[in-house]
Amino acid sequence: MKNNDLILKINSLKKSSIKNIIEKRISEFENIKNPNDIFSELCFCLLTANFKADKSIEMQNILFKDFLYSNEMNLAIKLKKLGHRFWEQRAKRIVLARNQKVDLIKILKEEKDEEKIRVWIVKNIQGLGLKEASHFLRNIGYKNLAIIDFHIINILIKYSFISELKSLTPRRYLEIENILKEISLKTKLNLAKLDLYLWYMDTGKVLK
């Protein structure tokens, strides 16, 4: 069965040099504790929606202080110069997100339920849906939420876990997340690590 082929492929990768790269990346996520670094990861996830992850990483490294302090116009100009497709919209969303920074840090400290934190983020941070909120939380050390982007969907379709998708509704997102949870149990990987293995399988890269 194709389903079993995916499990075998992941287990094979766990014995390869990719494992060390993924373990290092997970360790980096776990070490993000400073509120400004956390907010920078939030901004990265705002940038990366419908845009290239590697380019968003470059912009994040350049614009760290701008995320925190630049006004909307200046941030938009810098995003445009760096080549972001949605420079104006993303500048606006980052500045809006600043208004939620204190409450965000508070809920991250006080709430232990990852799904409840994700619900809060989707409700309160404009521009972050289930995928982006899950991505942000994984990038600051959370391990039990799935990041369902087209790379992951490609793999799941290829190995017959799901059929072709016309749209990814919140309900369908949670259904696919449950499928990924089953795969995580079979491969003995949490969802954070599983995502990196699957992303590598579709792209040949381990980013974040």
Active site residues: 131, 149
Q: How far apart are alpha carbons 185 and 90 in whole angstroms?
A: 36
Residues near 63 by Cβ (< 8 Å), separated by ≥ 6? Answer: 43, 70, 75, 78, 79, 82
Q: Which residues contact 52 (CB under 8 A, 6 or more apart)?
A: none
d(CA 24, CA 26): 5
The set of residues, in sequence order, having a beta carbon less than 8 Å from that of 150 and lying 6+ positions away, is none
8 A C-beta contact, residue 39 and residue 140: no
